[in-house]
Amino acid sequence: MRRYRKTKIVATLGPASSTPKRIEELFRAGVDVFRLNFSHGSHRDHAERLRVIRELEKATGRPIAVMADLQGPKLRIGSFADGKIELKAGAKFRVDLDRAPGDQKRVCLPHTEIFEALEKGTDLLLDDGKIRLTVTKCGDGFAETKVITGGPLSNNKGVNVPNVMLGLSPLSAKDRTDLSFALSLGVAWVALSFVQRPEDVAEARKLIGDQASIIVKLEKPQAIDRLEEICELTDSVMVARGDLGVEMPPEKVPMLQKRIIKLCRTLGKPVVVATQMLDSMVSSPTPTRAEASDVATAVYDSADAVMLSAESAAGEYPVEAVEMMNRIIREVEGDRVYQQIINASHDEPEPTVSDAITLAARQVAETVNASCIVTYTTSGSTTIRASRERPAVPILCVTANERTARRLAMAWGVHAVHVEQEQRFSAVVKRAVEVAKAAEFGGTGDKIVITAGVPMGTPGSTNVLRVERIP
């Protein structure tokens, strides 16, 4: 089945969307990538969801990507004797390592790494930034603070420490267990939470190897400080605007979003825009106009994918949210201004044969009015190059590597098809014609542009371009 849009949709599975019927409904409504959130649910839950996805994949013949999103080193306070307190602005409040239940004057903060990094004047943000404390005094395992912004505070709320580099690995003990399990399931993507430095990506790469591709979630200002280095090391990036917007002024997030998307496109790294995109659809069948504009902006900015979180995982209208996102994307991509914006932001290709061929494929396809560009690839690098060019015609990826086909479900404009390995270019041409016709990317008399690497099966060796007419 063909999608008539280029920007992809990622949807999170959860209590509202885990039955086989509901997962199929989400897929047919437009989901390209399913996200398994390891912050919630058991391994059994995630394994069952993936089993359903694989059966759906087999039934539809369309590769489906699965993303395992690791929780990361989520920082939380301890509990209170009465379950909840009310903090008043100007009051004194202590955080420490004492695991005894908290009260109006103190609470446990069971993270030595935080106390090691604190100094006078450091801000602590609690409960997604609703509570703001400023450190007035700190020492070994404690900090005295002044309440700047008060409010209700209950058990186990999250803690953010903006503008402070914490000595934390991006992979907790739980994450390492979850990672091993996710890799055993054969997920295409692993998302890393709360990355601070390039070394965090390198650490994960050692564990993951080539078993899955890495997507870095940009949630920390420290990561933004070393953005280029991190993007060079990762396979993809997620603009995780929730935590990023807690630790940074909200007015800075839109510009960061545009900057990150631009950099990722330059580097040929798929980029996902996430968090609260259609948030009101958790409880409403329609989004706000501002939310519709938010999704549209990400599409105009040339994001590879947009993501639903609570909307599809726990909301009352998960299928409707996907359908709405699909409609918004198609409306934007049908706007003549959209392609003008895409073309205006085009980067110069790298001085390589593969990039030259890929650029030529886009130009030739548009000149001869081809119905699609067909990329025959092993590793996916040829197809990612084609996606980076943002051609006006769709990209049909033909690959003998099933993992590659699934991974490329994330990439802008790409429809991947898994086929048997071909050894000769003439066979590739024949197969490309067959697949284009079968997948409804071209009919009798239509032209298609084919790129491949000769000898066949050599990653990153794109060196052939051919125009073929479908008989």
Question: Where in the sequence numbering do the catalytic residues fall?
Answer: 35, 76, 217, 275
- Crossing angle of helices 336-344/289-300, nearest 10°? 50
Answer yes or no: are the C-beta atoms of 376 and 399 closer than 8 Å: yes
Phi, psi (degrees; rounded to nearest 5) at 106: -160, 165
- Rounded Cα distance between 283 and 279, Å, is 8
Helix (H, G, I), strand (E, B) or coil at 98: coil
Here the tokens at position 91 are 């009051």
For residue 376, the cross-strand partners are 398
Find how far residue 119's CA is from the centre of its chain. Answer: 34
- Rounded Cα distance between 227 and 123, Å, is 23
Helix (H, G, I), strand (E, B) or coil at 295: helix
CA distances from 197 to 13, 51, 204, 245, 389 (A): 29, 34, 12, 19, 29
Starting at the edge strand found earlier in the chain, the sheet holding 131-139 runs 106-108, 92-96, 142-149, 131-139, 123-126, 159-160
Find how far residue 309's CA is from the centre of its chain. Answer: 11
- Rounded Cα distance between 294 and 12, Å, is 19
- 260-269: burial string, b at 16+ Cβ within 10 Å, e else: bbebbbebbb
- Crossing angle of helices 318-333/20-29, nearest 10°? 10
In terms of Cα–Cα distance, which of 10, 141, 15, 127 is closest to 74? 127
